[in-house]
Structure 1
Amino acid sequence: MTAVVTPRPPGDSDERTQLVGWLDVQRSIVRLKCDGLSEEDAHRKVLPGSPLMTMAGIVAHLRWVEYSWFHLNFLGVPDTGQTPWTEDGHPDAEMFVDDVPLAQLLDEYDEECARSNAIVAAHSLDQLEKGPVRAANPGSARYILCHMIEETARHCGHLDIIRELLDGRTGYTS
């Protein structure tokens, strides 16, 4: 099945539709950039100075940031055991996924994005984070959506560069 980019939200839609819509566009590009990759290429380290920046590693990181921003930070719910870090562990531990199939990572990412959208749909854009990490300066759901658009778009750029290094494919095509 060939991945497709989610259409942009209508230009005259309300703020919530715009924010969630633009985030969904970026999320769909993640799957598009991974479309047709072999497992070997999905886990190939093409940047000597950044060996964790693989297609699979970025997908795992994006799933993690969805979980951490919407569940841990926004809702303030206790971790369900998904936190990959230990006290003295690697700061990018969520990107250690050499043994995890790309299809599984993409499915987990899609599932986390759906949970994030459900959380946003159930709350006001003005609702502030409840998690302890940013208790001194909590952000609103609006802030988190803007941040997630930025975060996801930035990593889509990384996926685009890595994909070009792997097989020459660029742009909105896989």
Structure 2
Amino acid sequence: MCQEGDVFRYHLANSAAFISILGLFRLRNLLFYQRPESLYSLNLKQLQENLGDAPREKALEIAAHVLHMLATEVPSAKQQSFAAHNLADLSLVSFSDLPVSLANAFEEPVKASLGGGFLKPSISALHQYWSQIHTGYGFKEQCGEFLLGTFEVPEGILHKKSLEDLEKWVKANGGG
């Protein structure tokens, strides 16, 4: 059973990192190519225990480093074929007592916008689904995101101008 605020989620566009240390669990499998949305969950309380009952501040510091790594890591597999050296366009972080996947935002395939690509409609679909889930279930969690480009950010998500700002927000336990 998770305590309130113990589940720390990462929703990253274009991230294909795989971590299996310190209680970080991969909830969505990626193959050798990158997918539009990946979900990672980190139980901060369990991380504290794994670190020998470390203070929450230490777990938050590690969580910020993991966020940075997941947002900037580029998978090495198939680089000769795909040369996919793209970083995350969106990093959405939630402090919650319940891990909730936003993968259903893509239950219906996202269609490219007329004369455009898939990025903008994918981010819009993710934001729309986030809003539906949070309104429908009444979730009151702390959410912050770093997002490249200009998008309307749903009410309830704190927009940060840089990945560094989002990392600082994480270190501050979702404050500031």
TM-score by length of structure 1 reads 0.29
TM-score by length of structure 2 reads 0.29
Which structure carries more strand by proportion?
Answer: 2
Which structure carries more helix by proportion?
Answer: 1
Higher relative CO (Cα under 8 Å, sequence separation at least 6) belongs to 1
